[in-house]
Amino acid sequence: MTAVMRALVLLAIGWMAAGTEALAQGYPTKPVRMIVPFGAGGPADVFARVLAQHLTEVLKQNFVVENRPGAGAIIGTVEVAKAAPDGYTLLVMSNTHTVNESLSPKRNYELMRDFVPVSPINESDLMMVVNPSLGLKNLKEFIALAKSKPGQLNYASSGPGTPYHMAAELFKAMTGTDIVHVPHKTSGDMRTSVLGGHVQMMFDAITVLAPNVKEGKFVALGTSGKKRSSVMPEVPTIDEAGVPGYESTIWLGVMAPAKTPQPIVDLLNAEIRKIMARPEIREAWGRQGAVPMTMTPPEFEKYLRGDIAKWAKVVSMAGLVTEK
């Protein structure tokens, strides 16, 4: 390469960098879509709307949440993967996405190829509940019932690969029980099925479920974290209630289409981290059982890759693979 050519290449790189930086400095200049590939009323939807409200305030443009549920989050995720990488379409994702990397080999995207990590949002425990009509008082009674009726009890989820599905499959693998999976399109549908007694059991986010348990609509058998939840400390963890070593949580995050300019990714990450650090956010979410998470984009990428590997082992252990 001649000196003139090298100079032209360096000049072009400089122009590109300047253009990208200018794009970030002016961003956003129009509304930003936040695609939630889950149904309304679930944790992803609820917390995405809180985040969108705060981002709207600080960045002076509307951040609009749009629900695109279906196929275990694949439908909405594919929509974001096909969007322009300009920062105006974001994906609100969860560990459903890291599970799908091994659970759903035929999906039309690859998480770490077609998206870039922006920031995590929060993490919360799940709660295992049953319909009161079963007359059960604790987890050991449920395990005994399931073992006495293999393949006759059902559990609900909001679709393959969701945290609710994987929490139940992990429970089955660790207890040696045979409980039939009944997938639903949304978490709202899942709750309705268990509430109506059509399905006997489910795992759900404690942030959504706690009020219903306190009202007697469901019977709580255990929570999924390492320690008891501050929201419902009277409910034992599944680990202490009879399944040693059990742990399964739900976390949420934000990603953007691959090739989104890094300055935009960094700007969004910085603003989300500031929001997560607000005392009023931590206090309000803490009352619901959610813990804000903060990471840089590289830290979040490492976290995602680790979670993909973690759930690949569970998928293999449980013998789970879908055709989606």
The Cβ of residue 277 has, within 10 Å, a number of other Cβ atoms equal to 11
Structural domain boundaries in the chain: 12-123+251-318, 125-241
274-280: which pairs have CB atoms within 8 A and are 24 or more residues apart? 274/58, 275/51, 275/54, 275/55, 275/58, 276/119, 276/121, 276/122, 278/54
Residue pointed to by tokens 């268990």: 194
- Write a three-state SS string for 67-127: ECCCCCCHHHHHHHHCCCCCCCEEEEEEHHHHHHHHHCCCCCCCHHHHEEEEEEEEEEEEE
Equal CATH topology for 12-123+251-318 and 125-241:
yes
pLDDT tens by residue, the chain, 324 residues: 566 555 544 545 455 444 445 556 789 999 999 999 998 988 999 999 999 999 999 999 999 999 999 888 999 999 999 999 999 999 999 999 999 999 988 889 999 999 999 999 999 999 999 999 999 999 999 999 999 999 999 999 988 888 999 999 999 999 999 999 999 988 889 999 999 999 999 999 998 899 999 999 999 999 999 999 989 999 999 999 999 999 999 999 999 999 999 999 999 999 999 999 999 999 999 988 899 999 999 999 999 999 999 899 888 877 887 654
- For domain 125-241, give the fold: D-Maltodextrin-Binding Protein; domain 2 (3.40.190)
Distance separating alpha carbons of residues 287 and 122, to the nearest angstrom: 13
Distance separating alpha carbons of residues 251 and 224, to the nearest angstrom: 13
Structure confidence at residue 187 (pLDDT):
87
Structure confidence at residue 121 (pLDDT):
98
The arrangement of secondary structure in 12-123+251-318, i.e. its CATH architecture, is 3-Layer(aba) Sandwich (3.40)
- CA contacts within 13 A on the Cβ side of 299: 10
Structure confidence at residue 160 (pLDDT):
85
Structure confidence at residue 1 (pLDDT):
54
Structure confidence at residue 85 (pLDDT):
98
Question: For the whole model, what pTM was predicted?
Answer: 0.83
Omega prior to 28 cis, within 30 of 0: yes
- CA contacts within 13 A on the Cβ side of 68: 21
Distance separating alpha carbons of residues 10 and 27, to the nearest angstrom: 26
Structure confidence at residue 18 (pLDDT):
46
Structure confidence at residue 318 (pLDDT):
77
Residue 130 token pair: 């049953």
